[in-house]
C-alpha cells in the first residue's frame, strides 16, 4: 500500500463550481478553435471572396480560442491568474450571444445557449467562494500570517 494514498491533502478539495466554469470556458474555447480551423481551411481550399481575409479571420479565432482554453486549464489547477481571462471571455461572449439572438434560424438557439453559458460562468466566477477557492485575496485584506512557522 502506498503512503501517498493515506497522506492527508493540505489543500481543500476543488469546488464543483470551478470545474463547471472550467468546462464552460473549455467548450467556448474549443468552439472558437474549431470555427477558426474551419475558416482557415475554407480560406485555403474554398472559394471565399477574400481568401486572405478568411485565413486571417481563422487564425484570429484560433488565437482567441486559446485564451479560454488556457483559462480553463488554470481554473482546473486553481491558479488565481485564470479568473481574469475567464471573466474577459464571458464578458466578450455576451455581445456575441446578443447578436446571435437577433439573427434568424438556428443561430437563435445558439445565442440562447451561449448567453446561458456565459451568465452561468460569470455568476460562478463572481461568487466569493470561487474567489476564495482560487486563492485570490480581496483588496485591503490582511495577508495570511502563519505564526507557527
Q: Cα separation of 33 and 58, whole Å?
A: 8
Q: Cα separation of 25 and 39, whole Å?
A: 21
Q: What's the predicted TM-score (pTM) here?
A: 0.80
C-alpha triplet 135, 25, 123: angle, nearest 5°: 60
Q: What is the pLDDT of residues 46-59, one digit of tens each?
A: 888 888 888 999 99
Residue 3: the pLDDT is 47
Q: What is the pLDDT of residues 87-140, one digit of tens each?
A: 999 999 999 999 999 998 889 999 999 999 999 999 999 999 899 889 888 777
Residue 2: the pLDDT is 47
Which positions ≥6 away from 99 have C-beta within 8 Å? 111
- Residue 85: name the closest of 28, 15, 39, 16 by CA: 28
Torsion of CA 108, 82, 80, 88, to 10 degrees: -50
C-alpha triplet 66, 114, 50: angle, nearest 5°: 60
Amino acid at each position: 500500500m502506498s503512503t501517498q494514498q493515506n497522506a492527508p491533502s493540505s489543500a481543500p478539495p476543488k469546488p464543483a463550481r470551478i470545474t463547471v466554469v472550467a468546462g464552460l470556458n473549455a467548450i467556448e474555447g474549443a468552439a472558437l478553435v474549431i470555427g477558426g480551423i474551419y475558416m482557415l481551411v475554407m480560406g485555403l481550399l474554398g472559394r471565399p471572396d477574400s481568401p486572405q481575409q478568411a485565413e486571417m479571420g481563422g487564425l484570429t479565432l484560433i488565437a482567441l480560442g486559446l485564451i479560454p482554453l488556457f483559462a480553463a486549464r488554470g481554473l482546473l489547477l486553481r491558479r488565481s491568474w485564470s479568473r481574469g481571462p475567464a471573466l474577459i471571455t464571458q464578458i466578450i461572449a455576451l455581445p456575441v450571444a446578443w447578436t446571435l439572438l437577433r439573427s434568424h434560424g438556428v443561430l437563435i438557439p445558439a445565442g440562447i445557449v451561449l448567453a446561458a453559458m456565459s451568465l452561468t460562468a460569470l455568476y460562478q466566477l463572481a461568487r466569493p467562494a470561487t474567489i476564495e477557492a482560487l486563492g485570490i485575496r480581496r483588496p485591503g485584506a490582511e495577508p495570511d500570517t502563519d505564526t507557527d512557522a
